[in-house]
Amino acid sequence: MIFHSPFQLSYLWLPVIGLLVGLVGSMVGGGGGFVFPPVLILFFKVPAQIAVATSLAATLPICLLGAAGHYNNGNLDVPTGLRFGLAGIAGAVAGTLITGMLTPEQLKSTFGAYIILLALLMIFNNLRANRKTKKTFKKNTVSRCGKMIPKGSLYGFTGGVISGTFGTSGTAPVLAGLFAIKLPLKLIAGTSLMVIFFNTFSALTGHLILGVIDLTLVWFLTTGTIIGAYAGPKLTAVMNLGKREVLIRKAFVFIILVFGIIMLVT
């Protein structure tokens, strides 16, 4: 079901939030969709099921524009993205069904536990990304070819389930999978956004049929996310992020960890 909620003055903050999330999410490849549900639930008192579906709609421009921007800059592995993304479609449909089986309180608590786990997984992935390996990418490519498809299917499906259930981008399993097949770091941001687009679009389609979407919230959020997602890849192309990318990722981890704790205890 689609509806428009009455305008509230606090909604004027949503474009700003969308801009920041779209900018950073498109730069680091996480999509940023994991920020929207806790923000809507905790600060705008939106029911969990509505926050999940609304978040998917607001995240879609980040994934689409971000992936397109990275593709234009040569930072996207299309075959790998397709392997992950096609499996994610089935997972997103399953996640949509799971959401309908949970009460708002169950969904809120489960989401809180999930984003705490997400923060821990992102810390783990960042540590793995910073490790130096003596093997060349060519050797890694040969050794992983036989396992890429099953791994891609598993990680892609898991990311889809998370997207459909929690209204997030399913970032953790997607990034974990791309690291697992040893994709070069410069391709991870763009490829993950491509996979997340598949997941988000599929989950949103399911929620359009089975869920509830507040278009008023969507319009305000996407006003900012579109601008941020358009600018993010351009900034990535012209800036040498270096240590600043690490700081951005750490800030994201800290924010979602705090959100997860708050959602579990309130």
pLDDT in tens, 66-94: 788 888 888 888 888 888 888 888 888 78
Say which range, 17-26, 55-64, 89-98, 127-136, has the weakest mean pLDDT: 127-136
Alpha carbon distance 139, 71 (integer Å):
25
Alpha carbon distance 229, 59 (integer Å):
10
Query: Two tokens at 260?
Result: 């997860």
Alpha carbon distance 93, 116 (integer Å):
24
pLDDT in tens, 128-154: 656 644 444 344 433 343 344 455 567
Per-state percent for the chain, helix, strand, coil, to nearest 5: 80, 0, 15
Q: Are 207 and 213 in contact (CB under 8 A)?
A: yes
Host domain of residue 38:
2-265
Alpha carbon distance 213, 155 (integer Å):
27
pLDDT value of position 229 = 80
pLDDT of 16 over the 90 cut? yes
For residue 189, how far is the Cα from the chain centroid? 11
Work out the average pLDDT over 244-265: 66
pLDDT value of position 134 = 41
pLDDT in tens, 179-235: 767 777 678 878 888 888 888 888 888 777 766 788 899 899 988 888 888 887 777
> Which helix (H) or strand (E) segment is 213 a member of?
strand 213-214
Neighbouring CB atoms inside 10 A of 223's CB total 17
**pLDDT bracket for residue 241 (50, 70, 90):** low
Backbone angles phi, psi at 213, to 5 degrees: -120, 130
pLDDT of 97 over the 70 cut? yes
Q: Give the three-state DSSP class for 4.
A: coil
The domain total for the chain is 1
| Mean of pLDDT over the chain | 75
pLDDT of 175 over the 60 cut? yes
Q: Give the three-state DSSP class for 47.
A: coil
Work out the average pLDDT over 167-178: 70
